[in-house]
Structure 1
Amino acid sequence: MVKTTTQAAPHRARACAWSGLYNPALVMRDIGYVLPGFFISLFAFSLLVPLASVGIATLVIWLGALLLPATLLLATKFAELSRTRAAWWGAAVPAPAYRAPSPGLGGFMRIMADGRRWLDLAFETLVAFPVRAITFSVGVAWLAAALGGTTWAIWARFLPENDSVFPGNMLRAIFGDALTLEAAYSRAAESLTYTLFGVIALALTPVVMRALATFDISLTRAGLGGTTPSTPGNGATRTPAADGASTSQLAFTSFTGWSWILIGFAAVATIAVSWPLLATLYDVHPAIAMVLATAEATAVALALRLPAIAIALGTIAPAAMALITAEPVETPWPWPVPALIVQALLAFIIGLRHDWRWVLAALALPQLAVIAAVAMSGTGFTAGAITSLVISSSVALGLGLGGIVLQGILENRGALRAERQHSAELDAKQRELSERNLVARELHDVVAHSMSVVSIQANTAKYRIPGLGDEAEAEFAAIAQSSRQALSEMRGLLATLRDSDGTAPLAPQPTLSDLPALIEGSRNSGAEITFTQSGGVTTEPVLSATGLTVYRVVQESLANAMRHAPGAAIDVTVTLGDDEITVAVENSHAPVEAPPAPGSGLGLAGLRERVAALGGTVTAGPTGETGAGEGFAVHATLPR
């Protein structure tokens, strides 16, 4: 049985992720996903980090060998909770294949060899907690700004007078001398400004909450999502694990998952380090520092999938940073240390996953943009600036080349894995072909030979046995015809079994139109058969598979009736309805006691499988009220 997995198309999934933004229920869903996630991740972080640290520290005294598997199992439970929350939000995350724990203490300790569980631990500690701390902070701050701003006029009157000049300065910058100082710095102007900000924030709240939720969901799918073997092109293959459980070949290494884990961690670390550093050491306004740090972090996050946008952000952000921080300060310039690390990391990620031309662009464009910014800044190419430019270009070049080399190594490993898989498939196909040839040889040597002998004896009976009457000759002729038909079908079956590439000639399969010939051939064997076919007024044709199944049901039922109840009257009824086809084959009680007929009992079982494959049903059993049975009946119903 083939198990199929239905997946939504990527474009449709992206479109649905941003649909219904202003639906109150969906807005509450986004808030209900974003805000509680921080507390869950805080609880997971406070448990997993101490347990993992103690487990690693006590590994040398074997205590960690017991503590680390328990920590990994706990991390898996938190990962399952993250997938459950994503499914509640509406984005199902496919569960990966874990290595099943084996019985005993040794099996429990072998959990440490499951890389998928280590990936769960890394995600829940290094990515989920900092990401959800940021989304929680942004979400709470945005909601507070929206609610506080829109209600400012109500509760601002209870606040003491303060010396806040932000609203007045902003209004003076916008309107200039057209607005007097008294009006710009009045309480009414302050209230109007904050209320306007609150209304704008409230209008954008659904967008911001959906963006935060989508960002969290994207990282969850990347870090915790499993692979679907039946999906072409996902790079996952199914191989038997050592303990007998089926697992994914990428489950241990999970290169893509680890890449997203590290990239997400790097993006969060970029914001956490670059934002305060620019604001404190380089005297950049906190809001501008936040924008520059976010641009750098976004470039790192997009480098894996969208290199063009990542390179654009990685070019604009350091150039703007060099212009803003051009005043003489006792710090590295024009490349601050976080920006230098981001640019090198950007070149490494792009070199790891993309063509060398993208790497060249990631190396050259930021450097050229920063050089142009230095030339326009008026500070000039000082010794410190030249040193910073040389160091940044050298580090970025080295990591970019390292990414290209590592990409080649991984591609070679992937090609080797694909070749091994192809060889394994060829071996399996060869074994299957050998088994089919063995079955075909046995059928040819045993069944086909016996049927040939029957055919020859039936054809030569009138020459070998003198004085045969007309009825006996007709009987032998019917036997010869049946044996020839069976031999013809046997040859087709043997050709199909020996066919390795699907080029064997196939004879036409029987259909409903062949039923009269089947009935007539069975009557020639001396059976008393009544055949009735009704219905068929609909214009919809009967499918070939359905017609073949009806033919086989009648064929098998007639053969059983003639074998087990010789001389009994047989009634065959086929009814073609608008929605279904009904087949009934009933035979009366045999006039004389029939000798035991050999049979394996697989005929009716095969019919049930055929009919069930088309969504139909089959019943077979003795007729009569006594239970002993006066005859036998087979009833089948198939959808048309």
Structure 2
Amino acid sequence: MVVNRMLGRFLPPDRRLNPAALAWIVVVIAAIGMLAIESSIAVSVYGAPVALAFGLSLIHVGTMPLSMLRPLFGAILSSFVCAALPLIVSPAIVSHTSGGTWPWMVPALITQVFVVLIIGLRAHWGIALSAVLGSIGGSVLAVVLGRWLLDHRPSESPVINIMIYACVAGGIYVAAVVVQQGQLIRSQLLQEKENTAEEHSKRVTIEERARIARELHDIVAHSMSIINIQASSAPFRHPGVDAEVAKEFEDISTSARTALTEMRGLLSVLRNDEASSELAPQPKLSDVEALVDQARQAGVHVTLERSGEPVEPQLRESTGLAGYRIIQEALSNAIRHARNSDIAIRIRCGGGSVWISVTNTRGDGPTAAAQSESHRGQGLVGMRERAGSVGGEIRSGRTISGGFEVEAVLPLSLTEPTADDRQELT
């Protein structure tokens, strides 16, 4: 990460290095450098044949990029090289000059430590452990074969040399495994956080839809009650109707009562034990004045403007409820996300639709509670659900001056918004 940030300063913002690509670059450069050092020291210091020294060194450093792709193959191949490389050195040099650094030449030790580090960071800890134990076993095998078969007669220093390598490789192994497990834990926590946020978003959406369904249910139930009362009382309010008409009114009343019974059964499913506060009459668009007065009493700078034709005489209850909830949510969002802002609410009726606009200025920024919210945008989702439930449309976004605006077009009838209404939203 540090190297990536350092190199990123010299690159355009849209051409940052990918961490995987950066890792490959580092590994390839390290492999090329260790090939030159390991082969040259094996020839010049340890008297190894040039061809064998270069070939085995090439295979050894090649296990570094190989471990990036196939960690298990890299561990196996490097262990074989660790057993073969000490056997090509000159016996005289091993016996007299460099016994202290045999069977592990310093460049070979560094290369193998790199292999262990790469496997420890990219593979299962068991594969990395096999690379450590395999390389130790390979060096022990080289000492045994060199002493009894190839007449290498070093002192007891190879034991110390192998122990030094074991300590270095073991420490690197532990560090690599700790880093890898830490990254794994962080990725799992991040995934769980994303899953929790997604589940919360779904739950909020479902709860909002259930609330809309309950409120629409109340409206329909109220309308069915009116139909029942009107049909039941029609023969008494209009004396002299013939028996056939009275029978038709009775059938209408019976159908309305049946529908009410079924609706009450649905209501018992939609409502929960904590929904007693929702049994009160649902608000209407005419109740916006009371909502604005409450906001003003709390110190909010809000204005309300009505224009166009009278709204209430031709407004459906569901549309009035949706309009009230949209204004309520937009006003709440403005208060939470733009402190001390000026909020303007405009309601206009005409052309078969109700046009609602809630606009706020930039203000002093969000409140502390709004800044700590981990799930944002649910209010906008709810407003879109409200508008869609009555066949309306909604648009929201930033204004040129830095504020925020919510606009909604709700049809007075069950038809879709007109083309002129859609034009106002674009």
TM-score, with length taken from structure 1? 0.35
**Alpha-carbon distance change, 375 to 265 in structure 1, aligned in 2, over 3 angstroms:** same
Post-superposition CA distance 1:471-520 (Å, at most 9, x none): 6864885697599779969987996899xxxxxxxxxxxxxxxxxxxxxx
Name the counterpart of 2:232.
460
From 243, 257, 273, the counterpart of 2:37: 273
8 Å CA contact retained: 2:228, 2:252? no
**Alpha-carbon distance change, 409 to 294 in structure 1, aligned in 2, over 3 angstroms:** same
User: Given the alignment of the two structures, is residue 413 of structure 1 paired with residue 186 of structure 2, yes or no?
Assistant: yes
Alignment partners' CA distance in 1, 2:173 and 2:188: 23
Name the counterpart of 1:319.
83
Alignment partners' CA distance in 1, 2:234 and 2:173: 91
User: Given the alignment of the two structures, is residue 306 of structure 1 paired with residue 70 of structure 2, yes or no?
Assistant: yes
From 50, 59, 72, the counterpart of 2:11: 72
Name the counterpart of 1:346.
115
- Secondary structure of 1:328's partner? helix
User: Given the alignment of the two structures, is residue 399 of structure 1 paired with residue 172 of structure 2, yes or no?
Assistant: yes
- Secondary structure of 2:208's partner? helix
From 353, 360, 370, the counterpart of 2:129: 360
Alignment partners' CA distance in 1, 2:25 and 2:245: 85
User: Given the alignment of the two structures, is residue 436 of structure 1 paired with residue 200 of structure 2, yes or no?
Assistant: no
**Alpha-carbon distance change, 496 to 342 in structure 1, aligned in 2, over 3 angstroms:** farther
8 Å CA contact retained: 1:314, 1:366? yes
Alignment partners' CA distance in 2, 1:385 and 1:484: 96
**Alpha-carbon distance change, 487 to 324 in structure 1, aligned in 2, over 3 angstroms:** farther
Name the counterpart of 1:585.
none
Alignment of 1:197-596 (within 5 A): 222-223=20-21, 259-329=23-93, 330-331=97-98, 332-377=101-146, 378-445=151-218, 447-457=219-229, 459-461=231-233, 463-464=235-236, 465-469=238-242, 470=244, 474=248, 477=251
Post-superposition CA distance 1:420-475 (Å, at most 9, x none): 33443444344334423432342233x22333224423652555444335368648
Alpha-carbon RMSD across the aligned residues, in angstroms, is: 4.6
Alignment of 1:160-175 (within 5 A): none
Alignment partners' CA distance in 2, 1:492 and 1:282: 89
Alignment partners' CA distance in 1, 2:34 and 2:230: 90
Equivalent position amino acid for 2:220 in 1:
A
8 Å CA contact retained: 1:315, 1:366? yes
> What is the count of residue pairs matched by the alignment?
274
**Which sits farther off after the overlay, 406-415 or 487-496?**
487-496
Equivalent position amino acid for 1:363 in 2:
V
Post-superposition CA distance 1:266-313 (Å, at most 9, x none): 334433433444444444455434432332233222335533211111
Same amino acid, percent of matched pairs: 24
**Alpha-carbon distance change, 426 to 333 in structure 1, aligned in 2, over 3 angstroms:** same
8 Å CA contact retained: 2:214, 2:267? no
Post-superposition CA distance 1:539-573 (Å, at most 9, x none): xxxxxxxxxxxxxxxxxxxxxxxxxxxxxxxxxxx
Alignment partners' CA distance in 2, 1:304 and 1:487: 69
**Which sits farther off after the overlay, 341-350 or 390-399?**
341-350
Equivalent position amino acid for 2:129 in 1:
L
Equivalent position amino acid for 1:314 in 2:
S
Q: Greater relative contact order: 1 or 2 (C-alpha under 8 angstroms, separation 6 or more)? A: 2
Alignment partners' CA distance in 2, 1:463 and 1:492: 31
8 Å CA contact retained: 1:284, 1:325? yes
**Deviation at 1:317?**
1.0
- Secondary structure of 2:111's partner? helix
Alignment partners' CA distance in 1, 2:165 and 2:86: 13
TM-score, with length taken from structure 2? 0.50
Equivalent position amino acid for 2:139 in 1:
V
Alignment partners' CA distance in 1, 2:354 and 2:264: 19
**Alpha-carbon distance change, 488 to 379 in structure 1, aligned in 2, over 3 angstroms:** same
8 Å CA contact retained: 2:224, 2:256? no
**Deviation at 1:316?**
0.8
8 Å CA contact retained: 2:224, 2:259? no
**Alpha-carbon distance change, 321 to 448 in structure 1, aligned in 2, over 3 angstroms:** same
Name the counterpart of 1:518.
none
Alignment partners' CA distance in 2, 1:275 and 1:339: 9
8 Å CA contact retained: 1:348, 1:399? yes
- Secondary structure of 2:104's partner? coil
8 Å CA contact retained: 1:326, 1:334? no
Alignment partners' CA distance in 2, 1:380 and 1:433: 80
Alignment partners' CA distance in 1, 2:35 and 2:190: 38
**Alpha-carbon distance change, 454 to 291 in structure 1, aligned in 2, over 3 angstroms:** farther
Equivalent position amino acid for 1:453 in 2:
S
8 Å CA contact retained: 2:46, 2:90? no
8 Å CA contact retained: 1:440, 1:497? no
**Deviation at 1:350?**
3.1
